[in-house]
Chains A and B, each alone.
Chain A
Amino acid sequence: EDQVTQSPEALRLQEGESSSLNCSYTVSGLRGLFWYRQDPGKGPEFLFTLYSAGEEKEKERLKATLTKKESFLHITAPKPEDSATYLCAVQANNAGNMLTFGGGTRLMVKP
């Protein structure tokens, strides 16, 4: 069974204090790993897709990396507007088009 575990569940940072969110996964053949951002009361918003170990993608203050067992979302010099829940999801080769989501990390950035 595919599993995705995100840590920490919640993270409080001061503005400008860089940190990383973790997404550990077990899947029988990874087709893709996805990162989403979700604001309260809204649908998840797509950030990145990673397909193979060693791959990295960046967008503004966010950088996603992938190994064979986990992915990290690095946040550099965060701002209060980066506060949100960050979701990780995996798509397995043998799971049709199903996405398995982790529980998310709730990030709070204080000014």
Chain B
Amino acid sequence: EAQVTQNPRYLITVTGKKLTVTCSQNMNHEYMSWYRQDPGLGLRQIYYSMNVEVTDKGDVPEGYKVSRKEKRNFPLILESPSPNQTSLYFCASARGRDYEQYFGPGTRLTVT
């Protein structure tokens, strides 16, 4: 089944404790992206990647890092999480720059 998977689905952590949210797609898509969704602010893009080793900032990249060492994986790294990063995070992938994006199931992160 073609899908985007994210792990973990739920995470509660404390301020400053480094964490990684994994994202993997099995559709051989070149394009991958991370979003956060907050009430009243909608979906906002954090980072995206056009292909392996190619990443770029979205609207709200501060406090996040990403890497794209393999085509199928695009992990999101929070090196020193803060409470304002409490949010619902979605990973997405697409065939290429002009194609529709397919979203993962989401990761609900709480930083206390």
* A residues whose Cβ falls under 8 Å from a Cβ of B: 31-32, 34, 36, 41-46, 49, 87, 89, 91, 96-104
Contact = CB atoms under 8 A, between A and B. Distances in A.
B75 interface: no
Contacts of B90: 43-44
A101 B98 contact: no
B98 A99 contact: no
Nearest to B100: A46
Interface of B: 4, 31, 33, 40-45, 48, 50, 56, 58-59, 90, 92, 97-98, 100-106
A46 B101 contact: yes
Contact of B103 (A41, A43, A91, A96): A43
A44 B106 CA distance: 9
Nearest to B48: A97
A49 B42 contact: no
Contact of B42 (A32, A34, A97, A102): A102
5 contacts: A36-B103, A43-B106, A98-B59, A99-B45, A103-B40
Given A44-B43, A104-B42, A97 B106 contact: no
A46 B90 CA distance: 14
Contact of B98 (A32, A36, A100): A32
Contacts of B103: 36, 43-45
A98 B100 contact: no
Given A31-B98, A97-B56, 20 more contacts: A32-B98, A36-B103, A41-B106, A42-B106, A43-B90, A44-B43, A46-B100, A49-B100, A91-B98, A96-B48, A97-B31, A97-B33, A98-B45, A98-B59, A99-B33, A99-B43, A99-B45, A99-B101, A101-B43, A101-B44
